[in-house]
């Protein structure tokens, strides 16, 4: 299932990268979500998920990151089915947590804003895998951990958690 969210008019004046991708890790067994408290680039102190921006010069998993004004021009745009989204999302998880955990992909959400596309891979991690995964905290984050879905809705969330994405998370954790 791929759910696309289209925004009319440019919601943001620029983005870090011309595209972005990340992972949301859910544990349906105990109704929790893995979150990170941000320490960088707009949103310090807000809660988000592992992910980040990238642009067409991503070679060998080394992102060419810079700010791109919206709308993103044609030569820097990605198509939603580009494999660079998964590669970047995996690279970001390893960069921000130290390892890529075992998980099951359950949904994909696409956010589009004036040529910028952010693809979020929503996953389920069974409790047995959750207990094995030992993510570390990196310099981009102040804190991290597994939080009950009921608490998630009360947290100060990073702008990447749009209403449609939050609804996808809630649907998938309860499915």
Question: DSSP letters of 12-63?
Answer: SSEEESSEEEEEEEEETTTTEEEEEEE-SSS-TT-EE-SEEEE-TT-BTTB-
pLDDT in tens, 114-140: 889 999 999 999 999 999 999 999 988
The pLDDT score that the predictor gives to residue 59 is 38
Q: Where do we find the tokens 């320490």?
A: 39
Least confident span in 38-42, 50-54, 129-133, 157-161: 38-42
Per-residue pLDDT band for 14 (boundaries 50, 70, 90) equals: confident
Q: What is the CA radius of gyration of the chain?
A: 15
Residue 103 has pLDDT above 80, yes or no: yes
Residue 60 has a pLDDT of: 42
pTM: 0.89
Q: Tell me what pLDDT residue 4 has.
A: 53
Q: Tally Cβ neighbours within 10 Å of residue 131.
A: 10
- What is the per-residue pLDDT for 3? 52
7 has a pLDDT exceeding 80: no
Query: Residues of the chain with pLDDT > 90: what percent?
Result: 62
Q: What is the DSSP letter of 142?
A: E
Query: How far is Cα 57 from Cα 100, in angstroms, rounded to an integer?
Result: 23
Calculate mean pLDDT across residues 163-171: 95
Portion of the chain with pLDDT greater than 70, in percent: 89
Q: If you average pLDDT over each of 13-17, 37-41, 54-58, 139-143, which comes out highest?
A: 139-143
Q: Can you give the pLDDT at residue 74?
A: 82
pLDDT computed for residue 67 by the predictor = 75
Average pLDDT, the chain: 87
């Amino acid at each position: 299932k791929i759910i696309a969210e289209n925004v009319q008019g440019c919601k943001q004046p620029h983005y870090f990268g011309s595209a972005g991708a990340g992972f949301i890790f859910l544990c349906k067994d105990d109704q929790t979500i893995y979150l990170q408290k941000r320490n960088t680039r707009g949103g310090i102190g807000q809660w988000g998920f592992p992910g980040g921006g990238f642009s067409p010069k991503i070679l060998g998993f080394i992102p060419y990151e810079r700010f791109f004004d919206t709308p993103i021009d044609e030569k820097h745009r990605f198509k939603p089915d580009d494999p660079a989204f998964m590669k970047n999302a995996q690279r970001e998880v390893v960069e921000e947590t130290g390892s890529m955990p075992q998980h099951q992909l359950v949904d994909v959400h696409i956010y589009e804003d004036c040529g910028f596309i952010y693809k979020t891979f929503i996953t389920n991690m069974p409790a047995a895998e959750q207990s094995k995964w030992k993510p570390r905290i990196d310099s981009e984050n102040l804190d991290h951990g597994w939080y009950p879905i009921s608490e998630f809705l009360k947290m100060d969330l990073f702008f990447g958690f749009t209403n449609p994405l939050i609804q996808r998370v809630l649907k998938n954790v309860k499915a």
